[in-house]
Structure 1
Amino acid sequence: MNNRQPEFYSSKSIDFNEYASDFLFEKLQQLELINLGKINIALSGGTTPLPILEILKTKKLNWSKFNFFMVDERVVSIDDDSSNFGNISKSFFEGITSTRFSMVQNGISFSESIAMYQQIISNSVPIGQNGFPQFDLILLGMGDDGHTASLFPSTLALLEQKEFVVLNKVPQLSTERITLTYPVILNSKEIIVLVKGERKKEIIEELYTSESHNFPISKIIQTHENLKWLTD
């Protein structure tokens, strides 16, 4: 159990997207200073990060030092309008010189894509003593049901302890998602969670005041020792 007090950073009266992009810029600057080699960062999908990343790409960094990975993905082609990688590419990747890796490769099956992505992670991200990769930073979000990455309530991926990446069946959405697993997320050096909206604030309050909930993100906040909340 993590006994550290939670760290909250709020935009308050400042525009959330501007505030979050400045916060992340300072974080990436710090990583640039302390890392001699490549810096490995995993980004979550969804709509919340897109305007933040749109601003972040205009900041002056040595972007070639950064490798960007995806935390989760929909089971669609990269060209699909709902592709997390595709949407982040338009908002962010296409404006910087960083290396970026998609969970999905067009022309092969999703299971083959997952195997390839897992191999890319093994080749690019340092592996810790526990056998799992250690990202320098993972950027997460949180849904109205308390899911994070594509770790949804009552799904099998919540139980995965061996694989880095899995295809997770999500019956409540009648679909499947690709996601990093708990062991990989929990092995990250740092986690930042981006959240907006009143419902998210209610969930955060419940996370820290009640044990009678079924929020997948609770395992992360209870375990990880370097987690920060970035809220509006």
Structure 2
Amino acid sequence: MAGEPQPLPPSLGDSWLRRQRLGCDFFNRPCVSLAKALLGQVLVRRLPDGRELRGQIVETEAYLGGDDTASHSRGGRRTARNTAMFMKPGTLYVYQIYGIYFCMNISSKGEGAAVLLRSLEPLQDLDTMRQLRQAQHKSPAKALKDWQLCNGPSKLCQALAIDKSFDQEDLACTAGVWLEAAPKAPPEDSVICTTRIGISGDWAHKPLRFYIRGNKCVMSPSEVVQQPARERTGSQRCCSGPWK
């Protein structure tokens, strides 16, 4: 039925019968709505050897395109790098920063709009995540605490072995990475709406970052004023006002 999570195909292992994969309809919503809906969902990475890594999404940021000067697609700008932002909702946009690290985004409804995954709470096979994180360092890294494994956009990509090869993949059907429905949706009053990190200019104060209150894996939760996120009808709104 449209809008309901779909079961994983049998090719993804015997455990697929006990889990549900989020389908195309889940991603087909406006960017702010998707950024909030992603909180609590479980990101799964299936490695080539069959091991599955899981983490619950606890922090996201919305990038709206158009007038959003912090977005890679600001002003409708299309490049070879950001093509995925203009593809169907649920398309992965993976880009490289500093020539070393990767960040993972999910396209949404809306021209050039996408959601950045900022932090995960690790759930399954944390030892492998730790090994993958440490493999990124030329010298031996100090032991990472569990909450440090995925508490940042490039960290979660390291921990799940996500790189540029996943760019433009359809999250609803690709075999190497997918989303599973949240075991339990976070209460509405636990979802915090605040400003994005590392943004300058006119859009620096727009409340487009969302996270689960009190989760230790959230990146820098206390740096900014926190407000409960709210859904309002009639226009796409968040916190204190509508987007113009």
State the TM-score, normalized to the length of structure 2: 0.26
TM-score (norm 1): 0.27
Structure with the higher helix share, 1 or 2: 1
